[in-house]
Structure formats: C-alpha cells, structure tokens
Amino acid sequence: MDTSLDSLPLVCETKDAVPGHEPSLLPPGRKWTLAWNDEFDGDRLDETKWRFRTNFWGRRAHWFATPEDGAVEVRDSLCRLKLVKKPDGQFVTPQLQTDGLVWDIPRLENPKGFWPLPKREPPTFLHRYGYYECRCRTQQMPGWWTAFWMQAPMQGCSLDPRRAGIEHDIVESFEPGTLIPHYFHANGYGDDYAPFHTPRAAEMSDTLSFDKAAFHRFGMLWEPDGYTIFVDGRQHGEKVGGGPGEAVSQTEEFVLISAEAKWYRDRHMTGEGVPELEDAWRAGDAFLVDYVRVFDPA
C-alpha cells in the first residue's frame, strides 16, 4: 500500500520560531516555546550540540563516518550528511547525536580496575516530552537511507520501557521519495524486543510517498500518554503508546540525524559489490538538514 502525502489533511499551524529562518509547523491548540535548536548557521558543525557516533558495542564501527572522513559539511544554513568512499573502497555515512547509549561507549582494552569503561562525555542535549521537528531533504538516489530519530541512554537496560526509554523513529526514508511507518522500538533489540508503530495497520512494506526533491518537515509530538507523528503539518497515523503492547518513554532521550548505507551489517559496502552506492557517491548525493528544533508547550 502506497499513500500519498497530499491525501492527508493539513492540521498544524505555522510559527516563525527563529527570526530569519524557515517557519515551523506546530500542532494546534497550544502555545509553544523553543527549548533547543540548530539552524546550521556558520561554516562548520557545532560540536557543542552534536557528536559523531563511531562505536558499536565498544568497537569502532566500520560503517560509521568519523569527523576526519569529511562526511558532514555545513554551509548556506544547511547540514549536509554525505556518503563517502574511503581509499580501501569502504563506504561510510555519518550519524550525529546529542548523547549516546551503552553501545557507543568505547571499551578499555587494559583497564586498571574492574570497570572496563572510560570517562563518559556529558550529553549536549537530553529532553523529555514536547515537539521534535526537522526540516530536511532526504536522499535522492537509492543504495542508502536517511533518518531523524531519538534514543535513550539506558535503552534496553530494563524490561520497563517507560523507565529505560524507547527508540523513536520519526522518519526513515529507505527509498528516495518514500517513508516507511514510524516505528517505536522498546526493550532493546534482542529476544525481548517489543516494537510498535503508526499507522498501526501498516506493514513495513507500506510507504508514504512525497516529493523527494523538496524539503519537508517531519515532527513528533511526545506526550505522557502517547506519540503523534506529523509530516508537513499533516498527521500520519494514529496516536500510539497507549494500546496493547505499547508504552511511552518517561525518561530523557537524545536526538539523532543520520544516514546509513545499506548492507553495512555484512561489510558488503564496496562499489564493486553495490553499484548503487558507487552511483550515489559519484553523484554527490546528500541528506540536507535545514534545522532541528525542539519545543515545549508554554
């Protein structure tokens, strides 16, 4: 099933949240105050707001770009997340986040005591509840995907997802010009994994189509009793979190904007093995982020 964005009614209200920048589209019926934002002004990534995800369960992940890879470029009030081909043929993509979770922590090879973890970096931004919005243009070519999402520092460390947190996939575009249903991942990613999504009746293969060449606003209203997703001011799917098998995170979480090359899990990410990645890299395809904003109800 493929649903068009134009088939959804417009419900949000326009607000000039940041002078000199594009307005936000915010859920109606309340007043909003800006709690945190990045408009990507300047000529470099603001490292007081973002850090690179580079590790996976204590090891450097081969598919994550590092700051030295040149996969993030800031200019013209846009953050460009790019697909990069390294000299050995490996493709990497950046994941930017405002904190991290347990798999981000590097492991000490020779700890002096019984604690195998190094000193932790403090978060740049953690928040609970409110409205989370990103204006962006997703990837234009196949072979990789782009996302705006959230995780919790202790996600999966408890079987109570309200306390441990839930992954919030506000938008994932696996193919250019389409969105999959918006998923919420609870209880980690192993045998205890407990996902739910909106629209509830949708399957993973069901998509929402949109103009891939245009910028769009993707937002999530996170309330104590549930989550509501909006695309260009239109509600997509029902409010979820209160139904059977669902839950709502009651802990602070961090924000991510990211890109990922497909097939990264089996290291099959070379131009020879995946022509789509080679084509996207040669064309200079990029995930363009205009702003990320977080609002609290006044």
Is residue 174 within 8 A of residue 254, CB to CB? The reply is no
What pLDDT is attached to residue 7?
83
The domain ranges of the chain are: 2-104+118-297
Q: How far apart are the first and last CA of the chain?
A: 39
What is the pLDDT at residue 2?
67
**Look-up of token digits 């000193």:** 119
pTM for this prediction = 0.95
Cα separation, 296 vs 88, in Å, equals 46
Q: Rounded to 5 degrees, what angle do the CA atoms 100, 103, 122 make?
A: 30
pLDDT in tens, 24-67: 999 999 999 999 999 999 999 999 999 999 999 988 988 999 99
CATH architecture of 2-104+118-297: Sandwich (2.60)
Encoded amino acid at 208, one letter: L
Question: Is the pLDDT assigned to residue 275 strictly greater than 70?
Answer: yes
Q: Would the CA dihedral through 2, 285, 270, 94 be positive or negative?
A: negative
Tell me, letter by letter, the H, E, C secondary structure of 230-242. EECCEECCCCECC
Q: Which tokens in the block code for residue 27?
A: 């859920």
| pLDDT value at residue 177 | 97
Query: Are 152 and 165 a contacting pair, CB within 8 Å?
Result: yes
What are the pLDDT digits (tens) for 180-216? 999 999 999 999 999 999 999 989 889 999 999 999 9
Q: Compute the distance between CA of residue 106 and CA of residue 285 in angstroms, rounded to an integer.
A: 31
**DSSP per position, 174-234:** SSTTEE--EEEEES-SSTT-EEEEESTT--TT-EEE--TTS-EEEEEEEETTEEEEEETTE
Task: Quickly state the pLDDT bin for 271 (edges 50, 70, 90).
Answer: low
